[in-house]
Structure 1
C-alpha cells in the first residue's frame, strides 16, 4: 500500500518522492521480516475470506512466501536507494520513481497472493509495470524493440497462465491455493491425473519458461540496456524470478504431470548450455550479465524439471543477490578487474590439466555429497548441479598443478574446493529444512529422460569448461579456423534473436529512424 500510494503523490519535488519510495521499500522489508518471524513461530498464515471480495483478495504466507518476500523486499530496498542518486537530475525522475514503486508493489502482491485470481492479476500488473520501465526512454529504437518483444512473450505467457487457472478452477471449483493443494493431494493419492490438469500443468510450465526469458523467446532481455541501471538490477534480480516462483507455487500440480516436468527439464537445460556459451563471447559487461541471467534461469527451471524444488529456491536466492550486486557495480567493473587481476606464470592451463581438474571435481562432489548424507541414486540431480557449480573452480585447481606445483598449494586447493562443496550441500540441507511442508517432498527424478538430461548437461559443461581456455575465449589469431567461426556465431547468439527482430519489425515497426 505504501508503494502504491506513490502514484497519487504530487511530483513537485522528485527527491522527496524518491525519499518516500525508499520509506515504502523499508516498510515492505520490515513487514517481510515480521511475517517471516510469525511463520517461524506459529506456522503458515492465511487471511480469512472477506465478504464479497474473498474470492479475489487473500494472502497466503508460508515458508516459500517468507523467503521470496524477504528477498524481493531486500533487493527492492537496495535498488530504490540506489536509484535516488542515480536518477537525480533526470527530467523523468518523478515518473521513474512512481513506475518503480508500482512495479515493486506488483511483484510483492504476486508473492503474497493467496488465490489464483489475485496471482493472475499481479502477474499481469508486474509485466505491464516492467514494460513501462523498459520504455522509460521512449525515443530509443532499441528500447522500443526490446519492450515489444517482451510484450509479445508476456501476453502469450499471460494467456497460458489464465488458461491454467481456468482449468484448475474447473477441476476443483475453487480459486484458493489452499483448496487447490488439498485437491491435488487427492489426485496424487488416486494415482491418475485428469487430462485437464495435465494440460494446466503444461500451460504453467510454458508460462514459467516465457517469463524467465528461455530459448527461443529470450532475446528481449539482452536488449534492455537502454533502460536505467536500477531497472536492469530489479529485472535481473527480482522480476525475472517470477517464472521460477510460478513453478514453485504450482509445484504440487507440476509434479503430477510428466510432460510439464519434461518441458522444464529439456528447455531449461538446453537454454542453460546455450546461454552460457554465448555469455563467454560477449564484450559488453551488461550484455554478458544478461546472458548469464538467461543461463541461470535455465538452471533454475532445470532443477524444477528434476523435482529438486529446494535447490531451485536456493538458486533463486543466490542468483538474485549476486546479480543485483553485479548490475549495480557494473559501472566500476574495470576498476574491480584491475584490482583483482594477477598474472599466471603458466598462462592458460593445458586442456589435459583442465580435464584432470574436471574429473577431480566430479569425484570430489560425489565424496562430499555422500559424506553430507545425500544419496547419489536417490538425488542425482543434486549431485549434478553441485558438480556444475564446482566446475567454476576447475581453473583454480588446474593452476595449482600447473607450473611449479608444490604440496602446500595443491593441499590448500583441495581443502578449499572441498569446503565449497561442503557449503553447497549444507545450504541444500538448510533450504530443504526451511521450506519443509511448503513444497512437495520426495527425491529427484531418476527416470530415463531425467538421467539423460543430467548426463548431457554435466558433459556439456565439462566440455565448455575445458574448451573455454583453449578456443572459446582464445584470440582470433590463436585458434583454428572452425573455432574462430564458432566464436563469431556464438557471439551473435546463433542469430536466433536477429530472426526475432526481423519478424517483429516486419509486423510491428518502431516508427523511429534507426541509430548507428
Structure 2
C-alpha cells in the first residue's frame, strides 16, 4: 500500500463535524439549519470523492503521526471508504431529522453536538490505519453513545439500558485493548497493513495470536449486542428516535466491521471462527423468533437488529466477509429508515387494516414451497458459476437464503389467497435471490483486496456450520408447520417465554443491579426525577413563606 498525502482527505469530513459540535456547545444556542445541512453535504461529497480516488489510484495510507509503530494514520481502501460513504449518508439524514425532531427543546444544541461528535468518531474509526487509533475511537464512540443514551436522565428505562451498556462496553473495551497489545507485541507494529502482510505470511497462528483473535471476537460480540447481553439494546427505545436510528444503523455495525477488518487474522483462527458461528448463529435464531412475537414496533425493531448482527457475525465465522459487508450496508439503510419512519408506519397500520388469507396447513404445499426455493437458489448458483465443492462457505450462506425464500413462498402457496398472491411471492423470492447473488459478486469485486483470497474451512468448522444450518432448518420448519401444531398449555407457556426473550434481560438486570437507583452514581447514571409545574410552584410558595 502506498503512502500519500491525499490519504488525509477523508479526515476533513469528521473534522467538520467536530467543528460543528464545538460551535454548538460554546457559541450558538440554536442550531443553524443551513450550516448543518452544508456540512452534511460536504461529508457526502468528500466520501464519494475518496471512492473515485481509491477506484482509479488504488488504496493508500497517510504518514503515521506517532512513534514506535503506534499513532494516528488514515487508511483509504475499498472497505474503509464504503463504510465512510454509508456513515456520511446516514449521519446527514439523522442530523437533518434531529433539527425537526427536537425543535423547541431547550437542549437541542447539546443533543446535535453530541450526535455530530458520535458520527465523526465513527468515521475516524472506520478510516483508521493503526490499531492504536482503532482502539481509541472504538472507546470514544462508546462514550459518545453513552451520553446520547442518557440525554434524558429522568427516563428510568433509558438509564437502566445505559447502565447495562456501560458495563458490557467496558468489558469489550478491555478485551479489545488486550488483543491490540498482543498484536503489537507479536508483529512489532501497529500499522494495519503491515499486520495483515505479516499475518498472511504465517501458515498457522501461535497461541498468543489465537488468543488475540478470541479477544477480538469477544469485543465484537459485546459491541453488537449479542445474546445474552443484548437487553440494553431493547430498552434504548426510551432515548430520542435519532439516537435509535444512529445506533441500530451505525454503531452496532462496529462488531462485524472489526471482524471484516481483521479478516486476515480471523480467517486463520479456528477457535475464533467457531465462537462467531455459535454465538452469532444462536443469537440470530433466538432474536429472530422473539422478534415475531413483539407487539411494539420499536422493540420488534430492536430484536430485529440483534438478529441481523448475529447473522453478520455468523457469516463472518463462515468466512464470507463480502456477504457480511453487503448485509451490513443494506441493514443500516433499512434500519435507519425503519426507526425514523416508525411513527408514520403506526399511523398507516391504524388507518389501513390488511386481512391476510388464512393458512391451510398442507404439508404437501409446504414441501413444494421449500422445493421451489431450492430450485430458485440452484438456478442462480448455476448462472453465477458457484461450485459447491469449492465454495462451501458461500453455499452454506445460500442455504440460509433458501430458508428465507421458503418463508416468502410458503405463506402464499399454503393459503387461500389465490394464484395472484402465489405469483407475487414467487416473483419476490426470485428478486431476493437475484439481489443476493448479484450484489455479493459486486461486493466481492470491490472488496477482494481487503479479504483473504481463499478460505478453506476445516472439518471442525464444516461440522459446526452444518449443525447451525440443521438448527435453523428445524426452526423454520416449525414456523412453516405452525398451523398444524396443537395449541396447548406447553405452546402457550413457550410463547410467553419467547415473547419475553427467555427472560435473559431480566436475569442480566438482577445480576448487575441495573434497576437500583443509586448503584451507578460513579458512572453518572442516576435517575433525575422530573418535577411537575405543581411541584415547582409549591416549592416556590414554601420558600416565600420561609423567608417571611
Q: Same fold, TM exceeding 0.5?
A: yes
Residue 72 (structure 1) shift: 1.0
Match of 2:23 in 1: 9
Question: Within 1, Cα distance between the matches of 2:167 and 2:251?
Answer: 17
- CA distance 1:163–1:335, change in 2 (3 Å): same
Residue 185 (structure 1) shift: 1.9
TM (norm. structure 1) is: 0.91
Residue 273 (structure 1) shift: 0.4
Question: Within 2, Cα distance between the matches of 1:142 and 1:76?
Answer: 26
Matched, 1:171 2:190: no
User: Please, which of 51, 57, 62 is the counterpart of residue 36 of structure 1?
Assistant: 51
Residue 109 (structure 1) shift: 0.4
- CA distance 1:352–1:513, change in 2 (3 Å): farther
Question: Within 1, Cα distance between the matches of 2:401 and 2:347?
Answer: 26
TM (norm. structure 2) is: 0.86
Matches within 5 A, 1:41-56: 41-50=56-65, 55-56=70-71
Residue 144 (structure 1) shift: 1.3
User: Please, which of 272, 278, 289 is the counterpart of residue 290 of structure 2?
Assistant: 278
Question: Within 2, Cα distance between the matches of 1:514 and 1:116?
Answer: 42
Tell me, which stretches of 5 or more residues in structure 1 are unaligned? none
Question: Within 2, Cα distance between the matches of 1:305 and 1:337?
Answer: 38
Matched, 1:119 2:130: no
Match of 2:279 in 1: 267
- CA distance 1:325–1:512, change in 2 (3 Å): closer
Paired residues of 1:113 and 1:119 also in contact (CA < 8 A) = yes
Match of 2:270 in 1: 258
Paired residues of 1:79 and 1:234 also in contact (CA < 8 A) = yes
Residue 261 (structure 1) shift: 1.0
Match of 2:206 in 1: 194
Match of 1:382 in 2: 394
Match of 2:541 in 1: none
Match of 2:489 in 1: 481
- CA distance 1:460–1:236, change in 2 (3 Å): same
Tell me, which stretches of 5 or more residues in structure 2 are unaligned? 1-14, 531-548
User: Please, which of 491, 500, 503 is the counterpart of residue 495 of structure 1?
Assistant: 503
Give SS of 1:56's match.
strand
Residue 440 (structure 1) shift: 1.2
Paired residues of 1:472 and 1:483 also in contact (CA < 8 A) = no
- CA distance 1:323–1:407, change in 2 (3 Å): closer
- CA distance 1:512–1:334, change in 2 (3 Å): closer
Q: Deviations over 1:32-76 (max 9, x none)?
A: 111111000010021123476983111011011111111111111
User: Please, which of 184, 209, 216 is the counterpart of residue 228 of structure 2?
Assistant: 216
Match of 1:27 in 2: 42
Match of 1:59 in 2: 74
- CA distance 1:91–1:381, change in 2 (3 Å): same
Question: Within 1, Cα distance between the matches of 2:89 and 2:200?
Answer: 34
Paired residues of 1:6 and 1:21 also in contact (CA < 8 A) = yes
User: Please, which of 471, 475, 487 is the counterpart of residue 464 of structure 1?
Assistant: 475
- CA distance 1:257–1:89, change in 2 (3 Å): same
Give SS of 1:294's match.
helix
Paired residues of 2:360 and 2:483 also in contact (CA < 8 A) = no
Q: Deviations over 1:387-431 (max 9, x none)?
A: 433544435423553456877875665455334312211111111
Q: Deviations over 1:482-504 (max 9, x none)?
A: 11111100111111110111122
Q: Deviations over 1:415-468 (max 9, x none)?
A: 5533431221111111101111111111463x3443334334434444434434
- CA distance 1:320–1:178, change in 2 (3 Å): same
Match of 1:146 in 2: 161
Q: Deviations over 1:102-152 (max 9, x none)?
A: 100100000111101111111110000000000000121111111111111
Which has the larger Rg? 2
Residue 90 (structure 1) shift: 1.2
Give SS of 1:436's match.
helix
Matches within 5 A, 1:152-167: 152-167=167-182
Question: Within 2, Cα distance between the matches of 1:14 and 1:380?
Answer: 58
Question: Within 2, Cα distance between the matches of 1:10 and 1:293?
Answer: 31
Give SS of 1:442's match.
coil
Paired residues of 2:159 and 2:527 also in contact (CA < 8 A) = no
Q: Deviations over 1:232-286 (max 9, x none)?
A: 0000000100011111111111112111111111100011001111111111110
Residue 357 (structure 1) shift: 1.3
Question: Within 1, Cα distance between the matches of 2:502 and 2:386?
Answer: 39
Question: Within 2, Cα distance between the matches of 1:123 and 1:403?
Answer: 49
Question: Within 1, Cα distance between the matches of 2:189 and 2:483?
Answer: 53
Residue 316 (structure 1) shift: 0.5
Matched, 1:454 2:465: yes
Paired residues of 1:471 and 1:479 also in contact (CA < 8 A) = no
**For the aligned residues, what is the CA RMSD?**
2.7
Residue 218 (structure 1) shift: 1.1
Paired residues of 1:349 and 1:395 also in contact (CA < 8 A) = no
Question: Within 2, Cα distance between the matches of 1:389 and 1:130?
Answer: 33
Question: Within 1, Cα distance between the matches of 2:16 and 2:529?
Answer: 40
